Structure 1
Amino acid sequence: MDSVPQMSRAAVLNEFGEASRLHVTEVLTPVLKREDEMLVRIHATSINPLEWKMRQGMGLPPLVWRRLLGQPMILGFDFSGTVARVGRDIQGFQVGDEVMGAMPLHGTYAQYVLVRPSDGRTAVVRKPKGISHEQAALVPFAGLVAYSGLVKYGRLQTPSPQARILVVGASGGVGHLAVQMARRGLGAACVVGVCSSRNADFVRGCGAHEVISYDRTPPEAIVSSHPDWAGRFDLIFDTIGVEAYWTEVAPKLLAPNGQFVTAALPPSRPGRPGEDVSPLGVPPLLLKLVRRHRSGRYHLIPGLLGGLPSHSGLPVIARWMEEGKVSAHPAAAFDLEQIAEAHQASEGGRTVGKLSVRVA
């Protein structure tokens, strides 16, 4: 095992704003501050849309984001790498172990990160055999969102051979993993994916029994196009935040005990992410969420607030990966020095699968 250098590389966010605000520079390598921490040498990370929303300062005042992210501000949830150092209280991991996981808020756009396995919001497991670091780093955060949407909030059992599931945004990072988990992990009877017509074959390849092309069949036309689907779905999982699937589709498609789960806040302005809300827009948004929650079937995944099954979910996902049931599609690969380009590619909103970032 190589010695740990005093200085290492990281992509640091100097100011909130455009992707050009990310700069790769030398930073002090983190050192163990607690006996229940371990230092991981990161070989690869990946891009999640929440990260560029954080980079833009969406959802919270800049001063709050600065306090949450610390100094230097290093974004990034996902990591796959090698354990470089361990505290005396670490159990189940040792120096040299290859691991993958997701941090609760930030830190993986770097060569080294401190990981505390006992933290309830931190997910870390041994990397599945036969899976590269670049492949493994694509999965943890998006995989946990997908798993929680199906199992924790969608209330599906493992397995769920009778389940009927509609996944919106089925070709995206979370969506294509959710389709695979639903079909190959849970063994659902019917998995329908919603995506553009150009990505329909890809989503079928992920395991969808049927595909709805949103550029040919708008949400309000789904039930009329498939009258036999009315009232028969156990779960609608909206991974991207499209209002019409709650307002138009859910009332017609969901079974009496069916659930609606979304991984994104409802938009407050047309064409903008739900996280892009002004201070004046927060009260109406909260009121809308409370009203929907009272229905008993609307669930928003609070990914940054400890709402992911980090300890129970990632081991299951890793097992599915090792069994060949779940794999992330690499849309494109970037080096750490190209992190700004990777963010710009994600912001374009047309990513099929996930974007990989090589660190080592």
Structure 2
Amino acid sequence: MKAAYISRYGNIDDVKLDEQSKPLITENDVLVKIHAASINPLDLRVLEGEFKVIQPVKFPFILGNDFAGTVVQVGANVKQFKAGDEVYAKTDQNGAFAEYTVVHQSSLALKPQNISMELAASLPLVSLTAWQALVEIAKVQAGQKVLIHAGSGGVGSIAIQLAKYLGATVATTTSTKNMDWVKDLGADIVIDYKNTDFEEQLKEYDVVFDTQGGKTLEKSLSVLKRGGCIVSISGPPDQAFAESLNTNWLLKKIIPLLSWSIRHKAKKREIKYSFMFMKPNGQQLAQISQLVEAGTIKPVIDTTYEFSRVKEALKYVNTGRSKGKVVLNMLP
């Protein structure tokens, strides 16, 4: 099968588009013919080896985290899916930039019926990230105030819609050109981060969803009220993340030290800091499918590329200028 893969950590020029072996299924797996896949900044971080110490990959490694497609074959223990089903998922073992992928049945969900394969492929990673941050960890309630950084990005654009569905007042940061666009997504307050310091405009918030890390993460502490929480997908990892890793005891001791400073500053303000690394979850995706079919959440695509132009698509995502998701059409 044709696949986009790497044989070593490096940069986009190291991505190869060539033949790889078709994956095999076990009793709890599902083989899917991929129709569309989407690109995430995470793909670039994996490619560059950012996680090689804590989550090394086995080469050759097929890239890609999001896909939508049609079930071809199911394992002996799979009961809820059958050949011909239209499905989507965040990958859990094999990459998505390929003609076929294998995924555990627990990670898979039926594709929303009212959208295309391309739109469905844009959703799994970003929607699960938003769900796990806002619903699972932050437990956002109606009437709360939530700040979502980078509202025009893939994660931010879905998080705004989800937070509004949960009944929150939503503030977000974006560039001048995207201010009206994120308002249309549901943002109540929009901060032009290039011209305004968000920490001077926003106060007494219940939740901050941080997608930027660094100085943005630290400044976000001043936005929160006592008892508030900040969930970050870009800040330093915490103890809970370290414990979830299948790694040696020394790394599990060292990793939480990376977040000591931000956790200490948060504790002084009686704020809870949580680092989140999204996990595949088919049940949550099924709930997200219901929201999509109800029109509550609308996928956002910036550009679609043919699979043969995967390197060009990766380079575009790397510019950080995409508004919503970049999708690959995997069919010839």
TM-score, with length taken from structure 1: 0.81
The code of the aligned residue for 2:260 comes to L
Secondary structure of the 1:264 match is: coil
Report the CA distance shift for 1:105/1:194 in structure 2 as closer, same or farther (over 3 A).
farther
Give the aligned partner of residue 171 of structure 1. 152
Deviation at 1:31? 2.0
Distance 1:112 1:349 in 2: 28
Give the aligned partner of residue 285 of structure 1. 258
Give the aligned partner of residue 75 of structure 2. 87
Are the counterparts in 1 of residues 93 and 103 from structure 2 also a CA contact under 8 Å? no
Give the aligned partner of residue 3 of structure 2. 10
Secondary structure of the 1:69 match is: coil
**Structure 1 runs (4+) greater than 4 angstroms displaced:** 281-284, 292-296
Are the counterparts in 1 of residues 8 and 60 from structure 2 also a CA contact under 8 Å? no
Are the counterparts in 2 of residues 236 and 259 from structure 1 also a CA contact under 8 Å? yes
User: Would you say 1:145 and 2:145 are equivalent positions?
Assistant: no
Higher mean alpha-carbon deviation, 107-116 vs 294-303, is at 294-303
User: Would you say 1:104 and 2:92 are equivalent positions?
Assistant: yes
Unmatched 5+ stretches in structure 1? 1-7, 224-229, 268-278
Distance 1:260 1:290 in 2: 10
* Residue of 221, 227, 250 corresponding to 1:250: 221
Residues 21-52 of structure 1 show CA distances to partners (whole Å, capped at 9, x for unaligned) of 112111221122x2111110000110111110
* Residue of 152, 157, 167 corresponding to 1:187: 167
* Residue of 212, 230, 235 corresponding to 2:191: 212
TM-score, with length taken from structure 2: 0.88
Higher mean alpha-carbon deviation, 46-55 vs 21-30, is at 21-30
Give the aligned partner of residue 114 of structure 1. 102
User: Would you say 1:300 and 2:275 are equivalent positions?
Assistant: yes
Give the aligned partner of residue 54 of structure 1. 46
Secondary structure of the 1:131 match is: coil
Are the counterparts in 2 of residues 13 and 21 from structure 1 also a CA contact under 8 Å? yes
Alignment RMSD: 2.3
Secondary structure of the 1:28 match is: coil
Are the counterparts in 1 of residues 157 and 182 from structure 2 also a CA contact under 8 Å? yes
Secondary structure of the 1:194 match is: strand
Are the counterparts in 1 of residues 92 and 104 from structure 2 also a CA contact under 8 Å? no
Are the counterparts in 2 of residues 258 and 297 from structure 1 also a CA contact under 8 Å? yes
- Identity fraction in percent: 31
Deviation at 1:242? 4.5
Residues 221-244 of structure 1 show CA distances to partners (whole Å, capped at 9, x for unaligned) of 324xxxxxx32x211111222423
Deviation at 1:293? 7.2
The code of the aligned residue for 1:133 comes to M
* Residue of 261, 284, 299 corresponding to 1:313: 284
Count of residue pairs the alignment pairs up = 314
Are the counterparts in 2 of residues 86 and 94 from structure 1 also a CA contact under 8 Å? yes
Give the aligned partner of residue 212 of structure 2. 240
Deviation at 1:220? 3.9
User: Would you say 1:155 and 2:139 are equivalent positions?
Assistant: yes
The code of the aligned residue for 2:89 comes to G
Unmatched 5+ stretches in structure 2? 238-250
Give the aligned partner of residue 337 of structure 1. 308
The code of the aligned residue for 2:102 comes to L
Distance 1:151 1:309 in 2: 15
User: Would you say 1:199 and 2:178 are equivalent positions?
Assistant: yes
The code of the aligned residue for 1:300 comes to F
Are the counterparts in 1 of residues 173 and 198 from structure 2 also a CA contact under 8 Å? no
Residues 265-286 of structure 1 show CA distances to partners (whole Å, capped at 9, x for unaligned) of 259xxxxxxxxxxx9x978624
Distance 2:75 2:188 in 1: 47
